[in-house]
Structure 1
Amino acid sequence: MTNLIENKVALVTGANRGIGKAIVDSLIANGAKKVYLAVRNPASTKEIEAKYEDKVVTLTADVGDAESIEQLANQATDVEILVNNAGIMHLTSPLSEDAEASLMQQFNINVFGLMRVANAFAETLENNKGTLVQLNSIASIKTFGDIATYCASKAAAYSITQGLKEKWADKGISVLSVHPGPIGTEMGNEAGFAGAPDATVVSNAIITALNNGDFHAFPDPVAKQLEAAYQSYSDQIITGELSL
């Protein structure tokens, strides 16, 4: 298999733990020459810095703040693989008293955060013929009642991801939409996913999808079940030539 990560410069938002940290590990293991760790708290990456030394650079960033993301983009103009991993999940049904506030908070990070990152890095990605990797979820395709507001935010993020793929197609920018199911991270455990697959199943799937030039990645066993049912629709409608 061709290794398209070799000697590339990457940036990962939310790189200090869980899936983000696993993505950093996989990028470096596959030859990335530098990975920017974009996190809200720079003290949270000390362990990663000690492990990888000059292969990683910590930058302060908050996807919930447009000015912060603009500053991030100005500091990382050599990025070729941009992984927007940062996100939040609230356990909120549509009937909860705080459903509206929960939805707004998740949209701010999961949807508007993606838009901030994409807009801030658009010129860099075009100049470097780069790739945007967006961490979506099976929840972007299938809604679960107890996390319905999270599902709504991820569905919106998936729509934006598709829009970016279309708008960037003639600019040499590729897009990868990643759709994990339950994963055994801190966030996953809080949602009741204890015993779920390790985050490396996601990071490894991202490497494979990047090398294959795929638009979708469904990493884990639960996600692959959904992929099997979704594949025909995706091929005909999402990545097909349907026009209005």
Structure 2
Amino acid sequence: MQINGSIALVTGANGGIGTLFVEQLLQFDVAKIYACGRNNSKLAHLVALDSNRIAPVEVDIEKPMSVSAAVNQCSDITLLINNAGTSLNEGLISSKNLDAARKEMEINYFGTLSMCRAFAPILKQSGGGAIVNMLSLIGKVNLPFSGSYSASKAAAISMTQGIRAELTGQGTLVVAVMPGTVNTELAKDWPNPKVEPAEVVRATLKSVIDGEEDVYPGEQATQISSQLLTDPKGVEKYLARFLPGMELAGTDA
């Protein structure tokens, strides 16, 4: 897919990775970017980058009515980047209740699915376009420190594969982005090493251009994804050491 001249929508645009997506898309000379977040006041710094090409859009992907409103406002997109997500760093058994698990599933799985379902017809009208789902390597193997987040991303990986199959006929590229630990505020307490957000964004946009369906940005993701093919149980047992409540900052993983 050619990114130059495309019309992109980025959810979670006010976050670290989302902001970088907007900045790098501008460098590709896109025609328009819909920068989406739950509050327009937090998107002003993005609009200031190029008010002619960046339009702020309030979207809460947990709410179907909000997603429907976004479809009406952004009915000309050719590139959908589902970047919005959350991690509450809870275990599966140790957590006091299911609140974190439900919240992560609502946003990371159901919210992303809602966006894909809502915008698939628009992408079809535009000739196919592309969907990018920002996922995680720990959707492939659970990190118990953030066990329910891992589970939500596992569901999202499976969902992405299903959507890819269903949209093949309309020519929509569906990209699954599965980095390891990204150096953002969200993962400040997660194990090292961490990949820089800019590297994740560069690898993601390159995968869109190259038509690559699965991308593992960063050395950590590349190594572990390879190890999962040869020794999946060994990887599982290694990550099983990182339990809920551990002090992980500065720990090499």
Same fold (TM over 0.5): yes
Are the structure 2 counterparts of residues 99 and 223 from structure 1 closer, same or farther at C-alpha, using a change threshold of 3 Å?
farther
CA distance in 1, matches of 2:83, 2:98: 24
8 A Cα contact 2:181 2:193, kept in partner: no
1:87-141 deviations in Å (ceiling 9; x for gaps): 0001111122435221111110000001110111121011111111000000110
Q: Equivalent residue for 2:115?
A: 117
Of Structure 1 and Structure 2, the greater helix share is in 1
The answer for unaligned runs of 5 or more in structure 2 is 231-253
- What is the DSSP-based 3-state SS (H/G/I as helix, E as strand, rest coil) of the residue aligned with 1:134? strand
1:87 aligns with 2:60: no
Q: Equivalent residue for 2:22?
A: 24
Are the structure 2 counterparts of residues 98 and 228 from structure 1 closer, same or farther at C-alpha, using a change threshold of 3 Å?
same
CA distance in 1, matches of 2:95, 2:14: 32
- What is the DSSP-based 3-state SS (H/G/I as helix, E as strand, rest coil) of the residue aligned with 2:98? helix
8 A Cα contact 1:92 1:99, kept in partner: no
Identity percentage over the alignment? 28
- What is the DSSP-based 3-state SS (H/G/I as helix, E as strand, rest coil) of the residue aligned with 2:209? helix
Q: Equivalent residue for 1:187?
A: 186
Q: Equivalent residue for 1:140?
A: 139
8 A Cα contact 2:195 2:217, kept in partner: no
Q: Equivalent residue for 2:50?
A: 52
The answer for unaligned runs of 5 or more in structure 1 is 233-244
1:51-104 deviations in Å (ceiling 9; x for gaps): 222110000000110110011011111100000000000111112243522111
| Cα offset, 1:195, TM superposition | 7.4
Q: Equivalent residue for 1:131?
A: 130
8 A Cα contact 2:79 2:131, kept in partner: yes
8 A Cα contact 1:188 1:194, kept in partner: no
8 A Cα contact 1:93 1:99, kept in partner: no
8 A Cα contact 2:109 2:156, kept in partner: yes
- What is the DSSP-based 3-state SS (H/G/I as helix, E as strand, rest coil) of the residue aligned with 2:20? helix
Q: Equivalent residue for 2:208?
A: 210
Q: Equivalent residue for 1:159?
A: 158
Q: Equivalent residue for 1:175?
A: 174
- Number of aligned positions between the proteins: 230
Q: Counterpart amino acid of 1:15?
A: A
CA distance in 2, matches of 1:50, 1:231: 45
| 1:229-244 alignment, distance < 5 Å | 229-230=227-228
- What is the DSSP-based 3-state SS (H/G/I as helix, E as strand, rest coil) of the residue aligned with 2:51? helix
TM-score of the superposition, structure 2-length normalised?
Answer: 0.86
| Cα offset, 1:226, TM superposition | 2.1
8 A Cα contact 1:99 1:149, kept in partner: no
Q: Equivalent residue for 2:2?
A: 4
2:195 to 194, 197, 207: 197
